[in-house]
Structure 1
Amino acid sequence: MLTLPRPVRCLGLTLLAASTLAVGRDLDQDEALELRHRGTIVPLERLLEAALGRYPGARLLEAELEEEHDRYEYEVEILTPEGVVREIKFDAATGALLKDEEDD
């Protein structure tokens, strides 16, 4: 078994912890429903229409609500008629478009 020197192990743990904090978290349906009832986030349906409207004929692949960078975001993945997967992010509180890019 390979044993790393203590400074290298500590750096690895620090980087792992930092990357975990930066990623954010997915919210479950109960949390999303509560936020919607409180008026904290806009309905997902409204933003799905906006995402699909950007690419007529596109199909929805996935949609999720995330808490990232101290805000709620909807992440929507669609498949365009040309076969390109796009990742579109919206601010879940305002509905503002945050990102629209080809997904890797």
Structure 2
Amino acid sequence: MARRHPAATSAKRRATPPNPSPPPPPADGSIPLLHAASRGDLRLFKRLVRDLDKGRGRPREVVEAAKDQGLVALHFAAGKGRLWVCRYLVEELGVDVDAVNDGELGYRKL
């Protein structure tokens, strides 16, 4: 078995970029809201929406603004089969079920 030259090995290591660190979680409370949707904890989800809304009366906007890597609360709830959370999002808040992820630009209708 042939041995590699140490300089060739270290040059290869230097050429490989390090793994980027994940972005820090947003400070606006989006992540706990999305986790509550994923767990199906409707009581906590509603409380977090109310807290994030701060009495403005726009809970749908709060829910639609909470995103993690392009996914919104409806994605998290539906992906785990949390139908009661999905029902709340669609029937009570009127979250758009036809929105698709449009990358950095946000969401658009189909």
TM > 0.5 between the two?
no
Computing the radius of gyration from Cα coordinates, the structure with the larger value is 2
Which TM-score applies when normalising by structure 1? 0.28
Which TM-score applies when normalising by structure 2? 0.27
Kindly indicate which of the two structures has a greater share of residues assigned to helix.
2
